[in-house]
Amino acid sequence: MEIAVISHDGKKAEMVQFLMDNKTLLKQKDIHIVATGTTGLKAEKAGFKVTRFLSGPIGGDAQIAVRVVEGKTAMVFFFRDPLEKHPHEPDISMLMRLCDVHNVPLATNPATAELLIKSI
């Protein structure tokens, strides 16, 4: 199962904490983690094996959207910072729309991510 992890700058610490809190589950199951650039780097530093794509603002969100469309990514954890403006908002909206179109579970905050991870 492939899970994508993405987080805005103000949410990267929360993403790493979420991954650490669920490390046993993520390492026990046959789960492959993909991530946008900086989020992936932080996850790697926390001890996770991650396939990293470009940073979100330079195309990483779009790269993960392609994986959703291709049926490779089964679940997306995208911890968004709703209080900041993001220059790549069209890419974010596209990714979220494609998750809906392709019926791929999408968590945009830790509470929802926790519910989804428990379903694995």
User: pTM higher than 0.75, yes or no?
Assistant: yes
Spatial distance between the Cα atoms of 111 and 114, rounded to a whole number of angstroms? 5
Catalytically active residues, by annotation:
61
List the domains of the chain with CATH numbers: 2-118 (3.40.50.1380)
User: With DSSP H G I counted as helix, E B as strand and the rest as coil, what are the percentages for the chain, rounded to 5?
Assistant: 50, 15, 30
Q: Is the torsion defined by CA of 93, 80, 58, 44 positive or negative?
A: negative
Average pLDDT of the residues of the chain: 94
pLDDT in tens, 34-53: 999 999 999 999 999 999 99
The pLDDT tens digits of the residues spanning 59-106 come to: 999 999 999 999 999 999 999 998 887 777 888 999 999 999 999 999
* Structure confidence at residue 54 as a pLDDT band (50, 70, 90): very high
Q: Which residue has the higher pLDDT, 115 or 29?
A: 115
